[in-house]
Amino acid sequence: MRGLTQLAIWDRLRRRAERQRLIVRAVRRRRRLRVVVDRTSQIGKQDILAFVTQRNERLRLPYFLEYYRNLGVRHFLFVDNDSDDGSLDYLSQQPDVSVWHTKSGYKRARFGMDWINWLLFRYGNGHWCLTVDPDEFLVYPHHETRPLQALTDWLENTGRNAFPAMLLDMYPQGPVDAQPYHEGQNPFEIARWFDPANYTISKNPTYGNLWIQGGPRVRAFFRDDPLAGPALNKIPLVKWFWRYAYVSSTHMLLPRKLNLTYDEDGGELASGCLLHAKFLSTFSEKASEELDRRQHYANSQEYRAYHAGLQDEVDLWCPESREYSDWQQLEELGLISRGNWA
């Protein structure tokens, strides 16, 4: 620590202690998880893994699994938070899925991150690990023609072990519940639109990550208090080491260096987007359920805003909305970057 000021040394020691605390907490919380099906013995040394927490997402799961299998994920590790819609049975039957079940409160597990940190600690070490929700779909430069393995190989060769992706809310034209979503359907056949701008970016001084807010959720649900809107910055893809830990969802990690996934000197590093398929016909029922459970951040403030907005049959589409076409479109709008990945 030579050359550091005393304040910088104490700050580094504090973050190290926080990281150790999060890992210990996750190890203790493993007792709340019950193994349903454990196929982790099938995991190969070079396999890319996906880590997911889910509750009552049966309709979404077939397309979600198909999408990430095609992208190159070789094994899925799911935590099921007491579903009652058949999704646990469905996941248990999938040959490349290991699944754990818990009845414990989502909030008490730091909104599921204690469970995920444990699985990452136990099974993720040495693997590229993708941590996403069932309504998040990663796109990155060349993703139609280059699998995740090509991206992770390039990241390793350039000395990077974390890849950022902005959460891009997708929505239909017209009321959210007007077009029914069917099991296994590509959600972006319905939720084809997004906001091309209307985003704010700041830097978190403590953890060093970017903090992004805005988009249709701020327009529709948080226009009176935009700073209360959800964070859109994510770091979902990481070459995991057992001493790492997510701090808050996938917004930021420790050690701090993992959050520095951008160039502060005027250049650009490669980045992606997570297309967010929250706003489908299933959303109203899901929002009501989660509001009743009150298991989300800030006493479910976000879901209270959704519930209020849905009473008016909210239409997220506006004249400035863009219809999604491909990753090149997102790059032209500055929402993703290929950096120096030609």
Phi and psi at residue 92, in whole multiples of 5°? Answer: -65, -25
Q: Which of 7-21, 112-126, 236-250 has the lowest mean pLDDT?
A: 7-21
Average pLDDT over residues 251-262: 96
- Alpha-carbon distance of 29 to 15, in angstroms, equals 21
Q: Flag whether pLDDT at 264 surpasses 80.
A: no
DSSP-assigned states of every residue in 284-301: HHHHHHHHHHT-SHHHHH
pLDDT of residue 231: 95
High-pLDDT (> 90) share of the chain, %: 81
pLDDT of residue 286: 73
- Alpha-carbon distance of 37 to 171, in angstroms, equals 35
Average pLDDT over residues 284-288: 74
Q: Which of 15, 14, 28 is nearest to 108 (CA)?
A: 28
Mean pLDDT over each residue of the chain, to the nearest integer: 92
Tens digit of each residue's pLDDT (9 = 90 or more) over 161-213: 999 999 999 999 999 989 999 999 999 999 999 999 999 999 999 999 999 99
Burial 11-31 (b: 16+ CB within 10 A, else e): eeeebeeebeebbebbeebbe
Tens digit of each residue's pLDDT (9 = 90 or more) over 135-154: 999 999 999 999 999 999 99
Domains for the chain: give ranges and CATH numbers: 10-332 (3.90.550)
Average pLDDT over residues 235-250: 97
DSSP-assigned states of every residue in 36-80: EE--GGG--TT--EEEEEESS-TTTHHHHHHHHHHHT--EEEEEE
pLDDT of residue 302: 63
Residue scoring higher pLDDT (11 or 252)? 252
Q: Is the dihedral of CA 100, 101, 105, 111 positive or negative?
A: positive
Q: Flag whether pLDDT at 296 surpasses 50.
A: no
pLDDT of residue 305: 66
Q: Kindly tell me the number of DSSP H helices and DSSP E strands found in the chain.
A: 9, 15
pLDDT of residue 284: 78
Q: Flag whether pLDDT at 72 surpasses 50.
A: yes
Residue scoring higher pLDDT (298 or 267)? 267
- Alpha-carbon distance of 105 to 102, in angstroms, equals 8
Tens digit of each residue's pLDDT (9 = 90 or more) over 300-341: 566 666 766 665 677 999 999 999 999 999 999 999 999 999
pLDDT of residue 7: 77
The SS3 of residue 268 is: coil
Angle formed at CA 323 by CA 137 and CA 221, multiple of 5 degrees: 75
pLDDT of residue 342: 80
- Alpha-carbon distance of 335 to 278, in angstroms, equals 19
pLDDT of residue 6: 83
Residues 6 or more apart whose CB falls under 8 angstroms from that of 1 comprise 9, 12
